[in-house]
Amino acid sequence: MLRSIFAALIVCTFAVAASAQEPPRIELFAGYSALRVPPGANLHGGQVSVTARVWKSLWIETAFSSHGGTATDDFSNGLSFPPLLDGDSILNKRSYTDEIRDHLFAAGPRIKSGTGRVSVFGHALVGFARSSENASITAVCDQGLCEPFIVHREYTDTSPALVLGGGVDVRLTDRVSLRPIQADYVLTQFAITSNPPTQNNLRLSAGLVFRFK
């Protein structure tokens, strides 16, 4: 399903771009960004995007974001975790601390409306995300037959990504605008996260937009 959506968006985007007659106007956005990932970790970082107008209100956007943070869980919510070692039989008396770093690159069409001081936009972007995790898992063996122990694990994975969202720009000068809010739904499918296999993430961003003609 994801691959079909990606293919359709890419084909439509480049078909319109190829037929555009107007010279593009460029916008550069840079700002703070926060990403919420399951099972409820809040990651902080930044986002940069470059957008070019290709025809009237249609723009082509390329965006990159990077987030990092720490997630903790005592598994009281019933989430599972990959086995620590082959043949392990571990009780639910486990907890982990996970250092996470996520990078996301995506591109696609943007529709922008408004020619006055305030404008709004919506976009649909496709691309890929890369996640690196350094987890420390504390566990107690089955039936309490051994002492508590800690296992350190490092994971790195790449996933297709779908970004759906939009935002508001408020013009400050002819060249600079304030973006007080940009909200995006980010869909990823990292294999290292066994539960759930598909991650529904929320990304919020704010910053400045610089325009170049």
Delineate the domains of the chain, giving CATH numbers in brackets.
2-68+105-134+161-212 (2.40.160.20)
Burial 34-58 (b: 16+ CB within 10 A, else e): bbbbeeebebebebebbbbbbeeeb
Q: Comparing C-alpha atoms, which of 64, 131, 140, 77 is closest to residue 99?
A: 131
Per-residue pLDDT of the chain (213 residues; tens, 9 = 90+): 555 545 555 545 544 444 444 455 899 999 999 999 877 789 999 999 999 998 888 999 999 999 998 877 655 544 444 444 444 444 445 666 778 899 999 999 999 987 778 999 999 999 999 988 887 777 655 555 555 556 667 778 899 999 999 999 999 998 999 999 999 999 998 876 555 678 899 999 999 999 988
What DSSP designation does 174 have? S
Amino acid at 144: G
203 forms beta bridges with 35, 184
Say what the pLDDT of residue 80 is. Answer: 47
Say what the pLDDT of residue 20 is. Answer: 41
What is the Cα–Cα distance from 174 to 108, expressed in whole angstroms? 26
The residue written with tokens 């079909």 in the block is 4
Say what the pLDDT of residue 114 is. Answer: 79
Regarding pTM above 0.85, the answer is no
Q: Number of helices and strands (H, E) in the chain?
A: 1, 8
Say what the pLDDT of residue 187 is. Answer: 95
